[in-house]
Amino acid sequence: MYCVLLGPPGSGKGTQSEFLVEALGLIHVATGDMFREHLRHQSELGRKAQSYIDEGNLVPDEITIAMLLERIDATQGGSTIFDGFPRTIDQARALDIALTDRGQKGDHVLLLEGSSEELVLRLGGRLTCPADGTIYHETKSPPEIPGHCDQCSNLLMQRSDDEPKAITNRIQVYNEQTAPVAEYYEQTGMLVRIDGSQPPNQVRGELLKVLKESRSNGDT
């Protein structure tokens, strides 16, 4: 099963995909996490991507698609959830071609929708553990010990692209470049819209329902 989780920054893609990975044993392919890993190691790809990420812009398609194709090969045909990819129409086309070339096809595109005001609130208070990637929110889901990860006690950080200026830009970039990707998938009949402003448990329930139905219909 190949599933794409689409949605504006702050709509809960990261949190929800982690849950689905655990609940359904999916392979998590998150291009944002992959880029952050490259930044941490200051790889050549990380250095190329840094300024785009810091300012809240998209990393150019040729870099992103090449990185993604390598990652798809590493999944060896296992059921996968794509989180944060595709973000442009060209990326969506590249994913279609990549899956077809490998004798596969996309099964679902799940779109988490949310209002701009709610997204800004969520992103502004978001705290991330740099060690294990766990996501918290200052008020909505605070860690037990303020400023420290519940899992590994590491000091939590605010992502550089969760600064107010970058947040505004990321939402604008989403509206201009990624919202058309939802329309692209709508035309294929694969798109399922989910209200991402509901409490996280409710969002989980809806996502699970769609994916479990797909499994019981015989998708791998």
Cβ-based nearer residue to ligand AMP, 63 or 190? 63
Q: Where in 152-181 is the site for ligand AMP (CB under 6 A)?
A: 161, 170
Q: Cβ(36)–Cβ(140) under 8 Å?
A: no
Structure tokens at 11: 């709509």
Q: Does the protein bind ligand AMP through residue 7 (CB under 6 A)?
A: no
214: nearest Cα among 19, 28, 24, 85: 24
Give Dmax (Cα) for the chain: 48
Structure tokens at 101: 């070339």
Q: Strand runs (DSSP E) across 68-107, as ranges?
A: 80-83
Binding ligand AMP (rule: CB under 6 A), the pick from 11, 17, 64, 80 is 64
Q: In one letter, which amino acid is 103?
A: G
Structure tokens at 9: 């920054």
Tell me the closest approach of the beta carbon of residue 23 to ligand AMP, in angstroms.
Answer: 21
* 126 carries an active-site annotation: yes
Which string of x and - marks every residue 110-149 that binds ligand AMP (by CB under 6 A)? Answer: ----------------------------------------
Q: Does the protein bind ligand AMP through residue 85 (CB under 6 A)?
A: yes
Tell me the closest approach of the beta carbon of residue 170 to ligand AMP, in angstroms.
Answer: 5
Structure tokens at 135: 């996501």
Q: Cβ(25)–Cβ(1) under 8 Å?
A: no
Catalytic residue among 126, 193, 212, 215: 126
Contact positions vs ligand AMP (CB under 6 A): 9, 31-32, 35, 52-53, 56-59, 64, 84-85, 87, 91, 161, 170
- Catalytic residue list: 13, 87, 126, 159, 170
